[in-house]
Every structure is written in structure tokens, then in C-alpha cells.
């Protein structure tokens, strides 16, 4: 069995995706596979994988049966058979150095590792004010109002165990709301969760291929879901 599967949702990525994979190969010490999850055969990302020898590790190209990054990620999770699953973004060059430590934390018995931009040592560096405001506001709502005791539930960058995967049925559909769902359901199941600091640096001059504003209603849904579930959990304790 593969030790680690890295699920990367993509949409018209440029040649930097290959640089990212080479950096992952250089940094990660365990056996791993790359699961590139895409929506359409017209996705320009696929052009970079015509050469099958991009890296020495196995690369799987997984077509999303639906549309959007959330569904692409969930499809990758479903098709993973590894001991550990990592959700990683195609433009994140900053946090590769965290991965080996995250693997160790899962191996030591944690079910979910949450890299956090909002704990001591973490940071979100972005010149996109609306994105930064919505991300920060969403994270604070989950922590202070829904009372999920982790400060960065909205971060899609997460690592979790096969044990967790087998216990959770994903129902989220849009944006990156799987991150809220994953954290809330793991917490409600009393799984072992740990939060570590991470730094998100928005790539300069990069136009995001994912649209945050249109996903806001879906984030609100999962916030309300979390709030209600936690309230009922408290009443039953």
C-alpha cells in the first residue's frame, strides 16, 4: 500500500505545476503518489502531463465526474487507497516543508492535521483584500460562534488518515467547503486532531482560477450545519 496520496485539484494550471511536483518529489521522504484532479479534457493543465516521465513517482490523472474543486477533491479522496491523504493546492510552494512533519504526526496517531494561518507562527499574506477578509471572517466564525476549537477550519490544505476517510461521508459540493465539513465531522466523531502553524503566500500576479464570492452561500450552509451540530452535541453531554 502507498504511504501517501497527494490530491491536487487543478484548473488550467501553467508550467509551474511541474515545478511543484518536482519540489514535492525532492522534499517528501516517504513513498507517495500524485492524484491530479481535473474537470474537463480541455483543461490546459493536462498538456503538461503528455510526458509521462514528469517525475519518478506515479501520477494519476483523475477526471471529476461533476464540476468544481470541491467535487474534484472528493473524487480524489474516494479513489485514494493510501494510508495517508494530503490535500494540496497547485500554487502552494511555501508549505512543502511542512509535509514530512505532518506525515509524522499522522503516523504517531493523529487522524487530522490542520495547518493554520491563524495561530501563533501562522500567517496569510495576500494582496486580495476581499479574499483575505472572507477567509479570516469564516475561520473566526467557526472558532468563536460554532465553537469548533481550531482556528483555521476553512484551509483546504489538510492531511488525514485512512481511518478518518473510512468514517466520514462527504456531502459538501461547492468551493472548498469539504474543509469545513471534514473538520466539523472529525471533531464530532472525537477523532484526534492537531493544528500546526502554516504560512499562505498569495502568488504575485496570479489570477485565481477559483472564485470565492460565488461560493459564500455554501460556506454559510456549512457554518450553520457546524453550529447546530455542536449545539446538539453540547446538549447531549
Q: What pLDDT shows up at residue 136?
A: 85
Among candidate residues 58, 60, 90, 59, the one with its CA nearest the CA of residue 75: 60
CB 35 within 8 A of CB 5: yes
Measured CA to CA, the distance from residue 116 to residue 36 in angstroms comes to 24
Measured CA to CA, the distance from residue 28 to residue 166 in angstroms comes to 25
Q: What pLDDT shows up at residue 209?
A: 47
Measured CA to CA, the distance from residue 21 to residue 33 in angstroms comes to 10
pLDDT by residue for the chain (237 residues), tens only, comes to: 679 999 999 999 999 999 999 999 999 999 999 999 999 999 999 999 887 678 899 999 999 999 999 999 999 999 999 999 999 999 999 999 999 999 999 999 999 999 999 999 999 887 677 778 888 888 888 888 888 999 999 999 999 999 999 999 999 999 999 999 999 999 999 999 999 999 988 776 555 545 667 888 999 999 999 989 888 776 565
CA angle, corner 223, sides to 172 and 192, nearest 5?
75
Cβ neighbour number for residue 139 with a 10 Å cutoff: 22
Strands 32-38 and 59-63: parallel
Among candidate residues 114, 137, 89, the one with its CA nearest the CA of residue 186: 114
4-236 topology per CATH = Spore Coat Polysaccharide Biosynthesis Protein SpsA; Chain A (3.90.550)
Cell digits of residue 5:
496520496
CA angle, corner 189, sides to 97 and 178, nearest 5?
55
- Domain map of the chain by residue range? 4-236
Secondary structure (DSSP) of 48-110: GGSSTTSSSS-EEEEE-SSSSHHHHHHHHHHH--SSEEEE--TT--SSGGGHHHHHHHHHTT-
Amino acid at each position: 500500500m502507498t504511504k501517501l496520496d497527494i490530491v491536487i485539484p487543478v484548473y488550467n494550471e501553467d508550467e509551474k505545476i511541474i515545478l511543484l511536483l518536482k519540489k514535492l518529489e525532492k522534499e517528501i521522504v516517504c513513498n507517495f503518489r500524485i492524484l491530479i484532479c481535473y474537470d474537463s479534457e480541455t483543461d490546459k493543465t493536462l498538456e503538461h502531463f503528455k510526458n509521462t516521465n514528469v517525475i519518478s513517482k506515479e501520477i494519476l490523472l483523475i477526471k471529476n465526474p461533476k464540476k468544481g474543486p470541491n467535487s474534484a477533491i472528493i473524487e480524489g479522496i474516494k479513489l485514494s487507497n493510501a494510508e495517508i491523504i494530503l490535500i494540496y493546492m497547485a500554487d502552494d510552494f511555501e508549505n512543502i516543508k511542512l509535509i514530512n512533519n505532518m506525515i509524522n504526526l499522522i503516523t504517531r496517531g493523529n487522524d487530522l492535521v490542520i495547518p493554520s494561518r491563524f495561530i501563533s507562527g501562522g500567517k496569510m499574506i495576500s494582496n486580495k483584500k476581499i479574499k483575505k477578509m472572507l477567509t479570516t471572517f469564516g475561520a473566526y466564525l467557526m472558532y468563536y460562534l460554532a465553537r469548533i476549537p481550531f482556528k483555521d477550519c476553512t484551509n483546504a490544505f489538510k492531511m488525514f488518515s485512512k481511518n478518518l476517510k473510512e468514517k466520514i461521508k462527504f456531502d459538501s459540493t461547492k468551493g472548498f467547503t469539504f474543509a469545513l465539513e471534514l473538520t466539523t465531522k472529525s471533531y464530532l466523531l472525537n477523532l484526534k486532531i492537531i493544528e500546526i502553524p502554516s504560512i499562505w503566500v498569495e502568488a504575485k500576479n496570479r489570477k485565481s482560477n477559483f472564485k470565492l464570492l460565488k461560493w459564500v452561500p455554501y460556506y454559510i450552509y456549512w457554518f450553520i450545519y457546524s453550529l447546530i451540530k455542536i449545539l446538539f452535541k453540547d446538549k447531549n453531554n
